[in-house]
Structure 1
């Protein structure tokens, strides 16, 4: 299936990043070199040039994180592709050039590549799933979930955005989602749980209720839920329930989300006009990374042909 960039049409997604995100990059660098840098001692501070190569096809995502790794190490990055572009269609496509002290280039190499590979993989998977849905006639929202890697959520949610996917709620403070455990802890009463959520969150925090049946969805809508999630329904069950709910609660001002076990293999079966949001953790769980490598250009090659082709190189 052809890859089509799904990056947000308005603005730069990098402008969404909070002030604290650069501290995460510092922590990742600290994790990778907590003590002496023995390899850096070997190579020293002589100037180096390294080429970022895309070795598999995908959507480039995670440019701010890659840049920040090398900014903190006094290196520069010159990009030859932009975020959201398809890369890797050509064998070992030269995507960016990193320049700086040799030991600093090598200090950042693995952290930067891991960030870029994971973020690009999620962007690619998001876009692939979105294209499947569009081809099946679905015009509404595809969203991720909160099933992200602890400590790495910002990167993974960012990849979803670049791939054209809604990141869904960022954390427990972004929206009140009442799952089965919440309902059971409230004595099995959806109205009680929704009322408590509304009292705490006020008008600004939406309330979503995970529902296992139409009866539970009816109770949630009646109680004032903003979103009802039809969880683990069959495709036929989804079509029947969503159509019935929209008809019986016409003008109710609620959204219907469908989730639970949705993958590239089956998601098209769930498409119908009455679903407002389809969410899937397959976007970021078990996602195949986009393969990148960073190659240091030998000094003699950099001196004579630094701007022509990939040339002969050494793997770092």
Structure 2
């Protein structure tokens, strides 16, 4: 995390007249941060950025992606009580939110891997403005794939592009404009359009809002049509924990789920002072 990001978050949270943190004399204290529920860890590097900014000593024997249990200690902190009080809520908010995403992701990955060891579980760009990179890193911690971080990473031709240009024209235009490192992905809603996209040179075909049976039929059609082996098949649209198992059985290359982030629940993470000594 960059210094200007840390200071921006602090400015939002502390304001200009922080009285509550000054109510008690500044002490050298020891504190622990622990989880109140089982979870997959994410955001440890974000927390450490805040600790470093305030000059705190910290210890953890965990890494992002570790699965821990209720009441496990994530961090032990030592430093100024004023600094710890000021950083407390920001660190807990980030850890609670990002661990929630990682935990949701790891559960989905477990479901998919029970049916297909090769299928990737990916998130989407349905993220919180301003903290996308942290949310996507939480998906990675949970064993998922971040997909695109932004529109530059690859060229995605979505349904509105297709409505305005058609599949073939959109792919042709993308090939003319894209750099050689950028893959071209096309979102389709029918087997016919999937075949058109494959023949027009798409690198990734996303089958959007299709039922599992229709996905299986479309994948079979593409295979029988001898599409190039490098083409990846992705599915998306309305996929969540309730129906994930049926989609996992389709055996596609990628299952992308906006719900990895926007349906995740925060993990309850807490900080407690365990020892103090007047400075």
Taking structure 1 as the reference length, the TM-score comes to: 0.83
Q: Distance in 2 between matches of 1:154 and 1:253?
A: 28
> How far apart in 1 are the matches of 2:249 and 2:263?
27
Q: Is the 8 A contact 1:25 1:65 kept in 2?
A: no
For 1:171 and 1:109, how far apart are their aligned partners in 2? 31
- Tell me what 1:258 maps to: 235
Structural mapping, 1:1-316, within 5 Å: 21-89=2-70, 92-186=71-165, 189-272=166-249, 274-299=251-276
1:174 to partner: Cα distance: 0.7
Q: Whole-Å Cα distance in 1 between the matches of residues 258 and 121 of structure 2?
A: 11
- Tell me the CA shift for residue 216 of structure 1: 1.0
Any gaps of 5 or more consecutive residues in structure 1? Answer: 1-19, 303-316
- Seen in structure 2, the aligned counterparts of structure 1 residues 271 and 206 have a Cα distance that, compared at 3 Å, is same
Q: What is the CA–CA distance in structure 2 between the aligned matches of 1:273 and 1:184, rounded to whole Å? A: 27
Q: 1:250 and 1:194, CA in 2 relative to 1: closer, same or farther beyond 3 A?
A: closer
User: What's the RMSD between the two structures over aligned residues?
Assistant: 1.8
**Alpha-carbon distance between aligned partners in 2 of 1:165 and 1:152, rounded to the nearest angstrom:** 17
- Residue correspondences, number: 278
Deviation at 1:44, TM superposition (A): 3.8
Following superposition, the deviation at residue 24 of structure 1 comes to: 2.2
Unaligned runs of 5+ in 2: none
Shift of 1:107: 0.4
Q: Which has the higher contact order (CA 8 A, sep 6+)?
A: 2
Deviations 1:106-126 (A, max 9, x none): 000000001111111111111
Supply the distance in 1 between the matched residues of 2:124 and 2:14 (Cα, whole angstroms).
32
Q: 1:113 and 1:168 mapped to 2: Cα distance?
A: 26
Cα distance in structure 2, aligned partners of 1:111 and 1:57: 21
